[in-house]
Structure 1
Amino acid sequence: MLALDVCLLSPNKRRCKGSQVRSRLSSGEGLTTLRPRLGFPCQQVKDTSTVVLLCSQGSVSETARSVSLDLTQIIFWSFITKGQFSRGPTHSSLSLMDVLWMIVLTVGLLGSHCEGAISCKNEIGGDVDWFILYKKPAGFDYVYIDSTDQNLKKNNKPVNNQAGVLAHTLNPYFERSSDSGFIAYNDQPPNEESVNCKHGHSKGVVMMDKDNVVWLLHSTPKFPKGDKSNNFYPKSGERNAQIFMCVTLKSAQSAQIAQHLKGINAYIFDKHNPEKLRDSSTAPQPPYHEDLLSAGGQQFKRFVKKISTKSEGDLYVTIADTLKSDLYIQTWHSKPETMDTTTDGHKLYNIKPPFGCDHSKWCVSDSENWMCVGDSNRQPSQFKRPGGALCINSKPVADAFREIKSSTDKDSATNCDTDSATNCDPDSDTRPSPSKRLRVGKTV
């Protein structure tokens, strides 16, 4: 039996609905560009309304599988088990009409597979309940851990790859369909406009449909830079280390996420169908924390910190005293290898940046199974700004980050600039750490 790899692309339709298999290939794009993406040869045939690509992979034992690329048109794949096309359908036993009928049958058989709730994604586009991605400085490499394989591993694709972890996860942001919505917030937005200091130093993207909410928190200024899979990661994000945490939640918890964005006074720079993330309640008076349960049952806890000119405005004081744990903390230009103590007696250790020029903000318990991604630096100027964190209760994750904090890069750079300037915190993201720090647990 001969099966075909068939790609159906409509030149006058720039977006497909209900499919998780997508590409940004247009009808005018040549096969030279396409071949490197697919890894095997293709032929292109046109009629007045359709572009069909016939691709082969020689003898393959598999009869069918989905290939998740980063797309705007629907692509369905089945593999050739015998033979190979070399000159297109006119030299094969199948006519163009046969091919089109095969497409119709494939759509009918696989249509239900293409429908699905939004989710965090892995490198091959598969659904994951959560992931944490830690990008290294001076490039696009990273280490990564997720719900399906709770072991820290190195990347196979760069962080800005258009068929990688972030691009797959951000597909609802690129697609902007009527069935989903999103809110993108960043106090250092892509358009570089000045943001008032009343907003948190917070960055993230919240995407939602009728079933799920995907919450992607991160530390990267100007992210997402563009609204396509080939331009979403800012060039400025190459220099410093950055961190991303993604969690998939059921839609019933969307109000809690909306409340969190209120609490940190997130600066929203882009949105689509934002009414899908609604919360009519009044946010509690900070500081406060609340438990969250992911769609897969993983325990999380979110924090909103107090706004104060005193040390009680330090996000990590709130986290340590709530979790009743000492913390190892990484934030931008914190004075490394120093220790403070909260009024409740918990120790806060500023670690030396594991990856040198490190713009990430995270902490890990010294003995408990908690690891958190925050939005605030340990600088007095940020005590008086809103802020928050999301923490995961996972021994594999906590162990992985305790290992990271112990494996500091010996070649760590110290003369690091931020990705983007901010007018709110002259001593936090744009200059070296201040010579004087507030002693945590004492007021001034």
Structure 2
Amino acid sequence: MSSFQFAILFLLALEVSAEFNCRNERNEPVDWFAVYKMPIYQDTSANGIKDGLAFYYLDSNDPTTLRPSPNNLNSSQQPIAYTLQQLYDKNGDLSVFSVMYNDEPYEESESAKKRKKRATVQKGHTKGVVFSDQTSGIWLVHSVPAFPPPDHYKYPNSGTIYGQTMLCISFDYSELAKIGTQLYYNHPDIYHSNLPTAMIATNPDLALVIGGKYMKEINHLDCQAQYAVKDAMSIHVGLTGEFSYTKDHTKMARSSQPTKPYVCIGDINRMTSQFSRGGGTLCLLDQNLWQAFDVITTENVCPV
């Protein structure tokens, strides 16, 4: 079994005027935000860093600098919790579309643990949350295992040790079908979902995904691609000291050319042992974001 691995580029509609939006640190709507969670680190550069709960944040209203959040990931008063709370407040509302997927799902039973092991081999290396009404929605792509719970906010202990990344985008409902196509290619392990009947006709790929279907054809890689891929060997974010890639489980890429300032945050795993699995990344073309994510201090050239 093989799955596609591809990146999707979104042209976001600005000034989304509707109920669901990514939320900033004041619980105000923003077009997008990005998070770089720090690994456990023994300093005082950010709230919660010694416990692996500290994160740096920026958003579309102030995209120039990654700043340490005053509240850590255990708090309900920070952008990720604010954003997800919109969905939790709609629990039981069958008019709202939602899907949570993670190759290490939020489950606590023994049967769920067995399902996690099976998913590691059979499904994509994907992690995210999408929810929407028929006006607007949000897509949160991330790299955190066993996150988030389907009915309440809680950051997992399993996500504290290593560095992680998240990207939230707000979108108009007309963009949901594109997200459905991305998920159809990626073969996500879904642990929570609701697709209203009224949304099925305009989101056919999404309906297939919710029904357990996915793209099975093989997409051949272009081995003559003109761009080299380099691996980050060490990282330095904000006021936090430099740390090794062995402490970093982020799924982040940054273009090397300032004339093409792409930053990509996703869930795909580039280890050779994971090449047969699906996964993706969400890329933004933004000069300020590109400069803010200049965090790689040493690198090497990937041999594959």
Q: TM-score range by the shorter chain?
A: 0.7 to 0.9
Cα distance in 1 for partners of 2:198, 2:78 equals 27
1:161 is matched with which residue?
75
1:329 is matched with which residue?
none
What residue identity is the alignment partner of 1:405? I
Q: Are 1:129 and 2:34 counterparts?
A: no
CA RMSD of aligned residues (A): 2.8
Match of 2:230 among 349, 368, 374: 349
1:8 is matched with which residue?
none
Contact 1:307/1:384 (8 A) holds in 2: no
Cα distance in 2 for partners of 1:199, 1:188 equals 11
Cα distance in 2 for partners of 1:282, 1:244 equals 22
Contact 2:262/2:290 (8 A) holds in 1: yes
Contact 1:212/1:250 (8 A) holds in 2: yes
Cα distance in 2 for partners of 1:181, 1:219 equals 22
1:373 is matched with which residue?
265
1:46 is matched with which residue?
none
Q: 1:165 to 1:385 in 2, by over 3 A?
A: same
Q: 1:211 to 1:142 in 2, by over 3 A?
A: same
What residue identity is the alignment partner of 1:359? H
Q: Are 1:361 and 2:242 counterparts?
A: no
Deviation track 1:28-70 (CA, whole Å, cap 9, x = no partner) reads: xxxxxxxxxxxxxxxxxxxxxxxxxxxxxxxxxxxxxxxxxxx
Query: Which has the higher relative contact order, 1 or 2, with Cα contacts under 8 A spaced 6 or more apart?
Result: 2
Q: What is the SS of the residue equivalent to 2:122?
A: coil
Q: What is the SS of the residue equivalent to 1:214?
A: strand
Contact 2:37/2:163 (8 A) holds in 1: yes
Match of 2:168 among 231, 246, 252: 246
Kindly state the Cα deviation for residue 187 of structure 1 after the two structures are TM-superposed: 0.6
Gaps in structure 2 of 5+ consecutive residues = 1-16, 41-51, 108-112, 208-214, 236-242
What residue identity is the alignment partner of 1:170? L
Contact 2:233/2:297 (8 A) holds in 1: no
Rg (Cα) greater in structure: 1
- The 4+ residue runs of structure 1 with deviation greater than 3 A are 272-278
Contact 2:131/2:137 (8 A) holds in 1: yes
Match of 2:145 among 216, 221, 240: 221
1:182 is matched with which residue?
98
What residue identity is the alignment partner of 1:144? Y
1:150 is matched with which residue?
63
The normalised TM-score by structure 2 is 0.73
Q: 1:130 to 1:374 in 2, by over 3 A?
A: same
Q: What is the SS of the residue equivalent to 1:150?
A: strand
Q: How does 1:43-54 map to 2 (within 5 A)?
A: none
Cα distance in 1 for partners of 2:126, 2:291 equals 26
Cα distance in 1 for partners of 2:231, 2:279 equals 19
Contact 2:20/2:86 (8 A) holds in 1: yes
What residue identity is the alignment partner of 2:26? I
State, as a whole percentage, how many aligned pairs show the same letter: 30
Contact 2:33/2:57 (8 A) holds in 1: yes
Kindly state the Cα deviation for residue 392 of structure 1 after the two structures are TM-superposed: 0.4
Contact 1:198/1:386 (8 A) holds in 2: no
Q: 1:405 to 1:159 in 2, by over 3 A?
A: same
Cα distance in 1 for partners of 2:278, 2:168 equals 21
1:262 is matched with which residue?
184
Cα distance in 2 for partners of 1:140, 1:438 equals 30
Contact 1:186/1:267 (8 A) holds in 2: yes
Aligned length: 245
Kindly state the Cα deviation for residue 147 of structure 1 after the two structures are TM-superposed: 0.4
Match of 2:282 among 383, 390, 415: 390
Gaps in structure 1 of 5+ consecutive residues = 1-114, 284-303, 313-317, 319-341, 409-436
Deviation track 1:116-164 (CA, whole Å, cap 9, x = no partner) reads: 5110001110001000001001121111110011122111111231121
Q: How does 1:225-236 map to 2 (within 5 A)?
A: 225=149, 227-229=151-153, 232-236=154-158
Cα distance in 1 for partners of 2:30, 2:76 equals 18
Q: What is the SS of the residue equivalent to 2:139?
A: strand
Cα distance in 1 for partners of 2:302, 2:256 equals 23
More strand by share: 2
Kindly state the Cα deviation for residue 388 of structure 1 after the two structures are TM-superposed: 1.3
Q: Are 1:406 and 2:297 counterparts?
A: yes
1:70 is matched with which residue?
none
Kindly state the Cα deviation for residue 380 of structure 1 after the two structures are TM-superposed: 1.6
